[in-house]
């Protein structure tokens, strides 16, 4: 086999559409652009998102605007008041919170917030604590430990 004999597999190559080469080619006269109008002209066409003067979707829906940081850390949040479901003196961690259905997954980071009141001594292990949550846990005689 020689390099000159190698051919691409059937159907992998397409013929180039040559426009403006006479009516016999099938792409003559208007060259596939139709008749007249903005889109038939050289450099013609409308900008991205333009809807003919109608208020564009980008302006109609506020949620479509702005910027979303894809690298942001999303925390599963648990309020201090929900920790009262655990028995006195127990250790609260990601696995315990997941089993108590207070967080959606074990793998994600967890933050304890200061909503509600805590009335028992607990050792709470989480990725983050709000200042209020940390104060409430220690005031109840427990410990707030960052992982």
Per DSSP, the three-state class of 91 is strand
pLDDT digits over 25-83, tens only?
A: 999 999 999 999 999 999 999 999 999 999 998 888 877 677 888 999 999 999 999 99
Residues 6+ away with beta carbon under 8 Å from 9: none
Per-residue pLDDT, 31: 94
How many Å separate Cα 132 from the centre of its chain?
Answer: 30
* Total tally of structural domains belonging to the chain: 2
Q: What are 98-123's pLDDT values in tens digits?
A: 999 999 999 999 999 999 999 999 99
Does 127 have pLDDT greater than 80? yes
Asked if 102 and 78 count as a contact pair (C-beta separation under 8 A), the reply is: yes
- Burial class for 98, CB neighbours closer than 10 Å (0-12, 13-18, 19+): middle
Residue 11 lies inside a defined structural domain of this protein: no
Mean pLDDT of 3-27: 94
Whole-structure pTM value? 0.57
Residue 104 lies in domain: 76-146
Same domain, 119 and 99: yes
């Amino acid at each position: 086999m020689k390099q000159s004999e190698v051919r691409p597999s059937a159907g992998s190559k397409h013929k180039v559409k040559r426009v403006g080469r006479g009516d016999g080619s099938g792409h003559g006269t208007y060259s596939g652009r139709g008749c007249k109008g903005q889109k038939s002209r050289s450099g013609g066409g409308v900008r991205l998102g333009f809807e003919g003067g109608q208020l564009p979707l980008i302006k109609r829906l506020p949620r479509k605007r702005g910027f979303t940081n894809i690298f942001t850390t999303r925390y599963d949040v648990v309020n201090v008041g929900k920790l009262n479901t655990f028995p006195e003196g127990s250790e609260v961690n990601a696995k315990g919170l997941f089993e108590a259905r207070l967080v959606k997954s074990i793998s994600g980071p967890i933050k304890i917030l200061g909503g509600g009141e805590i009335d028992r001594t607990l050792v709470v292990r989480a990725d983050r604590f709000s200042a209020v949550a940390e104060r409430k846990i220690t005031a109840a005689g427990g410990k707030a430990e960052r992982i």
